[in-house]
Structures are given as C-alpha cells and as structure tokens.
C-alpha cells in the first residue's frame, strides 16, 4: 500500500498542515512531515474533509443495471468525495430479504470504491401491506440498521407503528418517504401557482407535512428512531422543529436540489426536473437552508436517482421522478452554504455516519483515524457535462451549469479511489 503525504492542506478549514496516510490510517499530521517512501500530493489551497457519507443513494442493482450498477454508482460516489453510501431498497427484486441486501453489500465490497451499506425495505415488495424480514436483514452479513420503502410511503399507521417497534430492539431506524398517497394521486409537480398555470396535477406540501406530523407522534409514542427522507417544505421544517424540541428521536435530510431549484423549472417541461418530492418554492428553499444551518435538518443526502434515457427523455407525465446527485452534491453545498467547512463536514459526513452507525466514517482526519477522506479544491469551477459523469445515467439537472468546487482526491481506508480528479479504477 503506497503511503501518501499531503502537504500544506487545510483540514476542515483549519490552518494548513501536512497529512501522512500510511497503512490505511492517518499516521501523522503537522508541519514539515517527511516520508521518503510516500507519494506526495501538493495540498496548497485544498481542504481535507472526512469522506462524505450519503444516507440516500439509489444504485439500481439488482434489476436496472442499465441505469446504474453498484460499481458505476460507487465510482460516481467516490468522484463526488464520498467514502460511504447507503443504498436504497427499491431495486428489482426489492431489497426486502437477507439474500438481496447481502448481494448488494457483497457487490459493494467487490467494487471497493466506497463502503456500500444496504438499506432494507420496511414492507414486502414495498407494497405497504406486511413487514419485510427486518430481523433477518439486521442479522445478515449486511447488518442492516436502516429500513425504508423510499419511493413509497409507509402509509398505514399501524404498519408504521409496528415497524418502529420492531427496529427499536436493535436501535434501528425507519426512514420514511413522507407522502400521503391519497393527497398525491396523479401528482406531477408541486401544487402551487406554477402547477395551476401549467395545468399539471399538484403534489401539495401538506401531503408531506401530514405524514411527518403523524410519524413524529408515532416515534414519540414508541420511543423509536425515525428518519425523514428528502424534506422539501417550510411546513415540514416547523413540524420537525417542534418534535425535536420535545425530544422525539427524529433526524431529517434535505437534498441538494431542494436547496437550490424551484418549481419554476417545470415551466421548461423538461422531465429532468421531475422529482419526488417535487421542487418547491423560494420560501421553502429559504426555510430548508435555515433549518440545515440550525440543525433542525441534520444532513444533506443526495437521493441520487439515476434513470435510463427512455425513462426520462419522454413526456413529463410519463417520465420517472428522480435526478442524479452524487457527483455534484459537494458543489451545490458549497454554492448554497459557502465555504462553511465545519458545517459541510457535519451535515455531509459526521452526522450521516453517526445516524447510520458507520464506524470509521465521518471522523475528521487526525492521527490514528481510518484514512477515509476527500480533498476539495474550493477555488476550482467546473462546467457539468452529462456525458462526462461516471454514472450510467445522464439525468443531472445541472447540465452545462458552472459550479464551484472540485473533488481532487478521495481515499478509502488509505487507498486512493480518486486522484487528480479522476477515478483510480
């Protein structure tokens, strides 16, 4: 294993220092380190962050390997500065058994580019009718701790209660896709002025808020852990704020796109902007940004949702919802939050690693810690060219936009997965 000496790098925004990576760990930090056997990286102007951790990634394998594989998604993640991702369960077959979660986990290990932690489905086939084998998935080699029917809401309150009760035994989490299905029948975009003008059926904010309100009460009643996926409305933020103030064990995520893009994008009728939950309004964006800064929203999660061309480049009504996220998340965070490195490290690495219980991840580079880290050039700007993305899919909403920041290198347990901005394997 080649040792790496990163010279003159700012660790999470602190004064520049040298970082020596050897045998999978950060072996030393300090000024003027020497290591004749090490490969040297000039870190001048770069920021070292703990490797990013994504709590919400769709890898599409098994089933839709034309849209993404565990390997291609892992490569996209590494290029985005990630060292761990949690893979959502809405694959085909659904990850609702020990067999499927172990398959995804094993494929992640074989790709070896990021740690892939499978999320298990809450209900069999995501059908919302009976609980999946939560215990068997928890006891499997994949050691599943987060369960989600993402893409579908666990709408039945009794089933949601049972799921929260079940996972409490091993301190598991139910990650809810908060969408009251009766309120979003036929929905195509955010319900508001733009949907009225375009004549598209609306997805009202209350469909999200009503489920979050119900679920924080259920989580409180049961004393179990709830995580709310892709929070998108100002009203949801208020429900979460109150729940957290009461001490409910709830955490929440926001996606980069919900921090930046609004429903006005639907005016283009370009389905690349169709996503679940839908892009909302400037008022929602302002509330989500404030909540993220404050900690009412705990983390940024990508909801990386690759889709094949035929599922996206069609009429709006027929297009699948979802957008790519892994390769652009850090740039969007930098754009939205500015160079607030401690906040970025907290919301994109430490907190997601803590929530998911991923040992060795989300730890700032310091002597003795596993060398899971990424080097960012905050001064660089890059124009997003969909054809250049490592994902198998092309559905980025940032095509041809120039964004701040570039991932220069990523290390997974001391091995580079990205060097000079390029994937190593």
Ligand X SMILES: NC(=O)N[C@@H](CC(=O)O)C(=O)O
Binding site for ligand X (CB under 6 A): 58, 90, 150-151, 177, 275-276, 303, 305, 320-322
User: Closest CB to ligand X among 132 and 343?
Assistant: 132
User: Residue 257, annotated ligand binder?
Assistant: no
Is 375 flagged in the annotation as binding?
no
Choose between 27 and 87: whose C-beta lies nearer to ligand X.
87
Q: How far is the CB of 313 from ligand X (least distance, A)?
A: 15
* DSSP E strand boundaries for 224-364: 225-228, 250-254, 299-300
**What is the C-alpha separation between 350 and 356, in angstroms, rounded?**
10
Element (H, E) at 6: strand 4-11
Q: Minimum CB separation from ligand X for residue 275, in Å?
A: 4
Rounded Cα distance between 266 and 18, Å, is 47
Least separation, in Å, of the C-beta of 362 and ligand X? 24
Encode burial over 121-138: b for 16+ CB neighbours within 10 A, e otherwise. bbbeebebeebbbbbebb
* Torsion, Cα of 346, 403, 198, 229 (10° steps): -20
- Which residue's CB is nearer to ligand X, number 7 or number 274? 274
Nearer to ligand X, 321 or 405 (CB): 321
307 annotated to bind ligand: yes
| Smaller CB separation from ligand X, 47 or 59 | 59
Taking alpha carbons only, the member of 295, 266, 293 closest to residue 278 is 266
What is the smallest separation between the CB atom of 60 and ligand X, expressed in angstroms?
8
Closest approach of ligand X to the CB of residue 176, in Å:
11
CB 328 within 8 A of CB 77: no
Q: Check: CB of residue 75 under 8 Å from CB of residue 47.
A: no
Verify whether residue 303 is a known catalytic residue: yes
Give the list of residues 6+ apart from residue 283 with CB closer than 8 angstroms, or none.
234
Q: Consult the annotation and say whether 221 binds a ligand.
A: no
Closest C-alpha to 121, from 113, 112, 130: 130
Task: Supply the angle between the helices 70-79 and 98-111 in degrees, to the nearest 10.
Answer: 50
Q: Bridge partners of 173?
A: 146, 225
- Adjacent-strand bridge partners of 190: 203
Residue 395 is assigned to a ligand binding site: no
Strands (E), 97-156: 115-118, 146-147
**Residue 259 three-state SS:** helix
DSSP E strands in 155-231: the ranges are: 173-176, 189-190, 202-203, 225-228
- Smallest gap from Cβ 77 to ligand X, in A, equals 16
Among residues 303, 311, 335, 420, the one annotated as catalytic is: 303
Residue 188 phi, psi dihedral angles, 5° rounding: -120, -25
Least distance in angstroms from the C-beta of 162 to ligand X: 22
Q: Is 177 annotated as a binding residue?
A: yes
Least Å distance between CB 289 and ligand X? 20
Tell me how far CA of residue 214 lies from CA of 116, 147, 217, 377, 423, in angstroms: 31, 18, 5, 43, 44
Whether the CB-CB separation of 330 and 322 falls below 8 Å is answered with no
Q: Which is nearer to ligand X, 207 or 275 (CB)?
A: 275
Query: Is 90 labeled as ligand-binding?
Result: yes
Where are the strands (E) in 185-255, listed by range?
189-190, 202-203, 225-228, 250-254
* 58 marked as binding residue: yes
Choose between 268 and 383: whose C-beta lies nearer to ligand X.
Answer: 268
The reply, when asked if residue 413 is annotated as ligand binding, is no
Which residue lies nearer to ligand X by CB, 209 or 346? 209
Give how far the C-alpha of residue 146 lies from the chain's centroid of Cα atoms, to the nearest Å.
13
Which residues are known to be catalytic?
303
Annotated binding site for substrate: 58-60, 90, 276, 307, 321-322
Annotated binding site: 56, 58-60, 90, 150, 177, 230, 276, 303, 307, 321-322
């Amino acid at each position: 294993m080649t040792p790496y000496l990163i010279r003159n790098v700012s660790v999470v925004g602190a004064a520049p220092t040298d970082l020596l990576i050897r045998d999978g760990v950060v072996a030393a930090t300090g000024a003027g380190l020497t290591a004749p056997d090490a490969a040297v990286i000039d870190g001048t102007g770069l920021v070292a962050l703990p490797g990013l951790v994504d709590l919400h990634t769709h890898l599409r394998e098994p089933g839709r390997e034309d849209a993404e594989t565990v390997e291609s998604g892992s490569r996209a993640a590494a290029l985005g500065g990630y060292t761990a991702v949690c893979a959502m369960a809405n694959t085909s077959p659904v990850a609702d058994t020990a067999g499927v979660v172990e398959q995804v986990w094993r494929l992640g290990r074989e790709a070896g580019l990021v740690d892939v932690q499978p999320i298990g489905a809450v209900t069999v086939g995501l059908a919302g009718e009976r609980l999946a084998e939560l215990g068997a998935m928890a006891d499997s080699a994949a050691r599943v701790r987060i369960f989600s029917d993402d893409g579908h809401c666990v709408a039945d309150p009794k089933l949601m209660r049972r799921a929260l009760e079940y996972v409490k035994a091993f301190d598991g989490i139910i990650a809810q896709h908060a969408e009251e299905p009766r309120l979003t029948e036929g929905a195509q975009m955010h319900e508001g002025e733009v949907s009225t003008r375009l004549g598209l059926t609306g997805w009202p904010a209350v469909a999200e808020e009503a489920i979050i309100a119900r679920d924080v009460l259920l989580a409180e009643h049961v004393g179990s852990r709830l995580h709310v996926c892709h929070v998108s409305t100002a009203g949801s933020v208020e429900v979460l704020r109150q729940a957290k103030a009461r001490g409910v064990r709830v955490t929440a995520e926001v996606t980069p796109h919900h921090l930046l893009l609004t429903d006005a994008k639907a005016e283009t009728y370009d389905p690349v902007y169709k996503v679940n939950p839908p892009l909302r309004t400037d008022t929602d964006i302002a509330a989500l940004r404030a909540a993220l800064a404050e900690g009412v929203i705990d983390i940024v999660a990508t909801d990386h949702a690759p889709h094949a061309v035929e599922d996206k480049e069609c009429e709006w009504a027929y297009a699948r919802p979802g957008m790519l996220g892994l390769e652009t998340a850090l740039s969007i965070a930098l754009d939205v939050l500015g160079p607030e490195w401690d906040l970025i490290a907290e919301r994109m690495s430490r907190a997601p690693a803590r929530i998911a219980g991923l040992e060795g991840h989300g730890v700032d580079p310091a002597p003795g810690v596993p060398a899971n880290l990424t080097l960012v050039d905050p001064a660089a700007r890059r124009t997003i060219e969909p054809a250049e993305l490592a994902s198998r899919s092309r559905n980025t909403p940032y095509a041809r936009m120039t964004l701040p920041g570039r991932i220069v290198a990523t290390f997974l347990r001391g091995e580079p997965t990205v060097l000079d901005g390029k994937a190593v394997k």
